[in-house]
Copies of this chain bind each other. A is one copy, B any other.
Amino acid sequence: MTHGRFSLNQATIKYASLAEALQVAVDTGYESIGLWREPVQEVGLDKAVELVTDSGLRVSSLCRGGFFTGQPGPVRDAALDDNRRALDEARRLGTDTLVLVAGGLPEGDRDLAGARERVRDAIGELADDARAAGVRLAIEPLHPMYAADRAVINTLGQALDIAEQFPAEVAGVVVDTFHIWWDPQVLEQIARAGAGGRITSYQVCDWITPLPADNLLSRGIVGDGHIDFTPITRAVVAAGYTGDIETEVFHADVWARPYAEVAAEVADRYHRLIEPDL
């Protein structure tokens, strides 16, 4: 059985090398994979491109750029340069989607509105590079519990407010159920994103309780938590999104399991809980 549009984000099997992740994905029936920069850089970009090409898999996205909320100066300049490298890596790996995590408040800085303005400015500074690379800057709103220390962009509406200031081929948004399922405006904002051709990625994982002690590792496999995926998936479909659907599960217990077992289980959940609504 193959999994069609379903893509295994390699962070779901975090401890696998790039070669192992590609092999697991192929062996368990995937046609698509979401990559992270660190395992790519471990083998070097040339080798990574070769491994990906040989695998025959599509690359649904590259994670991640962003982290550009710093004040103007060397730190911010370095972040923008790193995003330019990430755009080039995405292009060479054959994906049109670079996922952006905005970054949190700089140390000691409480100006949330200012940090959010710098995110918009950074997208503006990267827009020409993105267009040249043929890669879209995919702004991912992160759950509000990460607003201080990880990402100051926290709702789909807010991500769209930024993305819509740039052409659709340059800037879009990530619809990730874990981050946005609670939002009273989620369905209308998905429709808005679709109408503007802004949905660059649909990602599915679940919200589990009690929230694990490390809130960065608190994501559940689809079906293990509280999210009703049906209305969200149907809204994404109705909005015209036809791309790959990734799952990206950060959880210590999931990472400790055999890679192929995890890859098979998340695919099973996809076929049962997501695919029927496509």
Contacts and interface: CB of A to CB of B under 8 A. Distances in A.
B149 A228 contact: no
Most chain-B Cβ atoms within 10 A of its Cβ — which of A145, A157, A214, A228? A145
Most chain-B Cβ atoms within 10 A of its Cβ — which of A149, A181, A225, A226? A226
Given A207-B148, A210-B149, A110 B157 contact: no
A116 to B, nearest CB: 7
A213 B253 CA distance: 17
Interface in A219-262: 225-228, 231
A129 to B, nearest CB: 27
A184 interface: yes
A149 B209 contact: yes
A143 interface: yes
Interface residues of A, number: 33
Contacts of A207: 147-148
Chain A interface secondary structure, helix, strand, loop or mixed? loop
A52 to B, nearest CB: 35
Contacts of A215: 145, 210-211, 215
Contact of A227 (B110, B144, B183, B210): B110
Contacts of A226: 105, 110, 148-149
A111 B105 CA distance: 34
Contacts of A113: 231
A154 B184 contact: yes
Contacts of A200: none
A226 B158 CA distance: 20
B213 A184 contact: no
Contact of A147 (B105, B147, B158, B182): B182
Interface string A141-173: 001110111000011011001000000000000
A126 interface: no
Contacts of A181: 112, 147
B184 A116 contact: yes
A228 B143 contact: no
Contact of A213 (B154, B213, B225, B231): B213
6 closest Cβ contacts across the A-B interface?
A213-B213, A147-B182, A110-B228, A148-B226, A144-B182, A145-B145
